[in-house]
Structure 1
Amino acid sequence: MTDNDSEFTVTPYTVSGEIDYEKLLEQFGAGRLTDEQIARFPEPVHPLVRRRVFYAERDVDRFLSAATAGERHSIVTGRGPSGAMHLGHIVPLYFAKRLQQQTNALVYIPFSDDEKYFVTDRSLEEIGEQTRENLRDLLAVGFDPDRTRIIVDTADADVIYPLAVAFGAEVTESTFKAAYGESQNIGHSFYPAVQAAHLLLPQLVTGRHPTLVPIGVDQDPHVRVCRDIAAKQRYDVDKPSALLSKFLPSLEGSGKMSSSSDSETAPTIHLSDDRETVFEKIHTHAYSGGQSTVDEHRARGGDPEADVSYQLLHSFFEEDDDRLDRIAREYRNGSLLSGELKGMAATAVASFLDAHQRRRRRLNSLETELRRYQLTEREREHARRRVGHSTFKAMI
């Protein structure tokens, strides 16, 4: 969506400007996440949900009913390996891990390395190397290997491509243009069929059941097209549910955290950043909602809602609601200074990254680690047969 009045753009491939989340809700036709729905999430409800970072939804009640009843349910959350991973990339994965621990959910994590080749100027070799690095960060999150499957499109083409072929016949050019705009090439215009294969794969492997897709609101077109395919009832699958989130802010205080580290005004906090780098980036670059001098701040206070350090704590990095409320109150009355708030955020982020990096260093070889998360041959064949495709064996 591009809104000319407010001058912001939100698509799966471009996010820019001051985003009006209410206009997006109206444009995309999603529902607002309600108090009643939030209360149905397992306790303790994740801060991303209870603080409405996930602020919109599609059919989330069906997923919650299955999760609370102990019935089969799954989560799909993926990664497009366009560069080194940063905080905005990893937050949905840790959210999915929490839900898996709370509800015993199946989790499927597709890596869309082929899509990044279609829509970026990177070579296949560059994308392949980035995929391997991103996979190590994913493995460091610590999903349950017995209930998690990791799919890399080019490596798992034997299952993804037959599914995409089936779903590709369901997506017209007009549907693509309505959801995505103009295509960059024929690979790009085919990609909604591959995304549908990602989102429906858990049901094609294990049978019909509710599936939740927790994503940034910019990725909603993928869900809408997939739901249209599922609604045709040719494959005995439910339409996937979705949780749509606001963006973890860039350090400059607007838009979406970027994979690029080229910006002089808003460097990105990468998962590989050490503690010193995190403190330097936040103290130097994080937009402040405070006043220009200490005396003025003591007298007038600051605005936590405009402050990036507070937003980081609010979104993910401060679990305790009472402590977060106290931080906001003290910032508003001026007793908490902007530098002190930045220190709190930097400490929380750096400690999170320290733990993530320790787990990453303890991993074995990528091939050894991935083996536990791969689809079995039986799962692959089951998914292929569900769309009318079976593997032909070579005749000797």
Structure 2
Amino acid sequence: MEAQQLTDKIVAVGDAIRALKAAKDAANAAQIAAHVQELLALKTQFKELTGADYAPQQPKKQQKKEIAAPPAADGDAPTKSKSQLKKEKKLADQAAKKAAGGGKQAKQQKQKKAKPSESAKPVESAAVPSAADLLLRQTEFQRQVLSSGAASSAQVVTPWDVEAEDGVDYDKLVEQFGSTKIPQEMVERMERLTGHKAHRYLRRGYFFSHRDLDVILDAYEKGEKFFLYTGRGPSSGSLHMGHLIPFTFTAWLQKVFDVPLVIQLTNDEKFLFKDQTLEESEVMAWENAKDIIACGFDVKKTFIFANTDYIKEMYPQILKVQKCVTYNQVRGIFGFTGSDNIGKSSFPAIQAVPSFSETFPVVLGGRKGLRCLIPHAIDQDPYFRMTRDVAPRIGYLKPASMHSKFFPALQGSTTKMSASKASTTIYISDSPDDIANKIKKYAFSGGGETKADHEKYGANLEADIPYQYLSFMLENDEELARIGREYGAGRMMSGEVKQKLIDVMSEYTLDFQKRRAAITDNLVSEFMSVRPLEF
């Protein structure tokens, strides 16, 4: 597409957005969001093509008619009368005043521009931004960070990268993504409805944000069932501690609400996005399924599937989503470029459709319109924002979400634990010696540099990785509070906290490994068989 064609398209899409916003109809939100994504992608294309950011063309001002007579045929200027000279001087004075911003009329015009009418105000000035504006804000923010190289001074949170120099600012993510914090009242309501004490991840704010969780709880209180959906992208033969966060929490949700669950293994995604073969992805998916089952899921209520195995059943729903999302929108949401393979652009629809009960006619017993709750890490949010935008357009319910914080890397909370950094990642297959060596060698300490400093000033609990890991893993609230008080006051040394973590993690992984060893291939096949779940 040529530059002028892109310009024309950008103008047309911009006009469409303005027209929809001017209508002030909440039903237009999905269309506005789609156009916004398309507009961002078009502007990215424009920059790739021209090397410059798109800037709207300024309308040419209408030239005032020349009062002076046209030049003579021989090129000499005609003789001007006194009245003509006087008029020209007057016009010149007026033009000078206008250019300098002088004149009462110019000031009034400026004041009017500074205070537009209600119908002309941009959406950004509204008290509550629309879904489209939140999407635009988040996508534009990520684009600016990635394109300007400003990642060193800002946080980057995408489905593939998490980096934050000063630690992830979750309050900023809530604002940026347009989600809602989980209040204490909602945690207490879940306890009343289920009759169970809230999971430690809820009590301590590790699941901190949501979309429509209140809708799920309202429906459940009326006696309506819902189903859970979560997933895993198999990129290693073993899960690490960070991977267990959504799975252990989802297992708790399944137990206390007594609901069915579908777990997607995106072996196709890792083949498309990573340097691994399809065969490697399939082997890792099978091994990861054993790790997942060991988290305590109910085989009668859980269906685990690899995308390459279940694609036939998913494909009709995938097509519906793909038809509603343009290539430019996908580029705008996920940052794909012209050099990415086409499989990447089609994948988001594959991750979207398990949130619709219609994708599981056998597994969910033909139940249509069954609500879905997705517990997931906050970096996966772009997939499900797209899903929520599309759902009403194809006649389905919007899925609800619960967002978790990241399990930080051993080196510090500037990024999440990653399977791509094996030497500084604690796997659930690690031995006690492996765990001890990694914690002692790599775990970032928030304690004082010297014993005297530590005893005087205490530890920085927010920066201390061993303490943060304990807050994820220790079930006993009183014990965790005691460690926090003693360590924060400098009465407990860094070495003691590290040793406590080594003991807790070693005990946990040994117990997990025993459960995992008991899982047979036949049991995996049962979890992955297409059959009606009990609920």
Under a length normalisation based on structure 2, what TM-score does the superposition of the two structures give? 0.66
Q: Following TM superposition, by how much is the alpha carbon of 1:204 offset from its aligned partner in structure 2, in angstroms?
A: 5.0
Q: Following TM superposition, by how much is the alpha carbon of 1:337 offset from its aligned partner in structure 2, in angstroms?
A: 0.8
Q: Summarize the Cα distance change of 1:134–1:204 in structure 2 as closer, same or farther, 3 Å threshold.
A: closer
| Partner residue in 2 for 1:292 | 449
Match status 1:199 vs 2:355: yes
Counterpart contact for 1:227–1:239, Cα < 8 Å: yes
Counterpart contact for 1:68–1:103, Cα < 8 Å: no
Counterpart contact for 2:304–2:527, Cα < 8 Å: no
| Partner residue in 1 for 2:407 | 248
Q: Following TM superposition, by how much is the alpha carbon of 1:124 offset from its aligned partner in structure 2, in angstroms?
A: 1.0
Q: Following TM superposition, by how much is the alpha carbon of 1:211 offset from its aligned partner in structure 2, in angstroms?
A: 1.4
Distance (Å, rounded) in 2 between the aligned partners of 1:150 and 1:372: 6
Alignment of 1:31-180 (within 5 A): 31-42=180-191, 43-83=196-236, 84-180=238-334
Q: Summarize the Cα distance change of 1:201–1:116 in structure 2 as closer, same or farther, 3 Å threshold.
A: farther
One-letter amino acid of the counterpart of residue 334, structure 1: G
| Partner residue in 1 for 2:161 | 14
Larger RCO (CA under 8 A, 6+ residues apart):
1
Q: Following TM superposition, by how much is the alpha carbon of 1:142 offset from its aligned partner in structure 2, in angstroms?
A: 2.3
Q: Summarize the Cα distance change of 1:69–1:210 in structure 2 as closer, same or farther, 3 Å threshold.
A: same
Counterpart pick for 2:375 among 214, 219, 224: 214
Counterpart contact for 2:159–2:382, Cα < 8 Å: yes
- The Cα offsets for residues 340-393 of structure 1, whole Å up to 9 and x where unpaired, read as 11111122222111111101111122x4432244222x79xxxxxxxxxxxxxx
Distance (Å, rounded) in 2 between the aligned partners of 1:202 and 1:151: 16
- The Cα offsets for residues 217-248 of structure 1, whole Å up to 9 and x where unpaired, read as 1100111011112122x34x321111111100
Q: Following TM superposition, by how much is the alpha carbon of 1:135 offset from its aligned partner in structure 2, in angstroms?
A: 1.3
Q: Following TM superposition, by how much is the alpha carbon of 1:187 offset from its aligned partner in structure 2, in angstroms?
A: 0.7
Max radius of gyration: which structure? 2
Counterpart pick for 2:176 among 1, 12, 27: 27
Distance (Å, rounded) in 2 between the aligned partners of 1:251 and 1:118: 28
- When structure 1 is superposed on structure 2, of 9-18 and 104-113 the one drifting more is 9-18
Under a length normalisation based on structure 1, what TM-score does the superposition of the two structures give? 0.89
- The Cα offsets for residues 56-82 of structure 1, whole Å up to 9 and x where unpaired, read as 111110122334555311111100001
State, as a whole percentage, how many aligned pairs show the same letter.
35
- The Cα offsets for residues 8-62 of structure 1, whole Å up to 9 and x where unpaired, read as 2111112223322222222211112112212222331111112111111111101
Match status 1:311 vs 2:471: no
Distance (Å, rounded) in 2 between the aligned partners of 1:159 and 1:31: 33
Distance (Å, rounded) in 2 between the aligned partners of 1:60 and 1:302: 36
One-letter amino acid of the counterpart of residue 368, structure 2: G
Counterpart contact for 1:150–1:375, Cα < 8 Å: no
One-letter amino acid of the counterpart of residue 371, structure 1: E
| Partner residue in 1 for 2:29 | none
Q: Summarize the Cα distance change of 1:138–1:221 in structure 2 as closer, same or farther, 3 Å threshold.
A: same
- When structure 1 is superposed on structure 2, of 117-126 and 201-210 the one drifting more is 201-210
Q: Secondary structure at the match of 1:131?
A: helix
- The Cα offsets for residues 267-321 of structure 1, whole Å up to 9 and x where unpaired, read as 100111011211221122111110122233222211111111111121x201122
- When structure 1 is superposed on structure 2, of 318-327 and 212-221 the one drifting more is 318-327
Distance (Å, rounded) in 1 between the aligned partners of 2:223 and 2:511: 31
- When structure 1 is superposed on structure 2, of 211-220 and 170-179 the one drifting more is 170-179
Q: Summarize the Cα distance change of 1:262–1:371 in structure 2 as closer, same or farther, 3 Å threshold.
A: closer
Q: Summarize the Cα distance change of 1:249–1:202 in structure 2 as closer, same or farther, 3 Å threshold.
A: farther
Counterpart contact for 1:33–1:55, Cα < 8 Å: yes
Q: Secondary structure at the match of 2:324?
A: coil
Q: Summarize the Cα distance change of 1:132–1:193 in structure 2 as closer, same or farther, 3 Å threshold.
A: same
Counterpart pick for 1:273 among 423, 430, 433: 430
Counterpart contact for 1:82–1:259, Cα < 8 Å: yes
Distance (Å, rounded) in 1 between the aligned partners of 2:485 and 2:422: 35
| Partner residue in 2 for 1:257 | 417
Distance (Å, rounded) in 2 between the aligned partners of 1:186 and 1:12: 18
- The alignment of Structure 1 onto Structure 2 pairs a total of residues equal to 371
Q: Summarize the Cα distance change of 1:110–1:202 in structure 2 as closer, same or farther, 3 Å threshold.
A: farther
Q: Secondary structure at the match of 2:415?
A: coil
One-letter amino acid of the counterpart of residue 308, structure 2: T
Distance (Å, rounded) in 2 between the aligned partners of 1:337 and 1:115: 44
Q: Summarize the Cα distance change of 1:170–1:319 in structure 2 as closer, same or farther, 3 Å threshold.
A: same
Q: Secondary structure at the match of 2:235?
A: coil
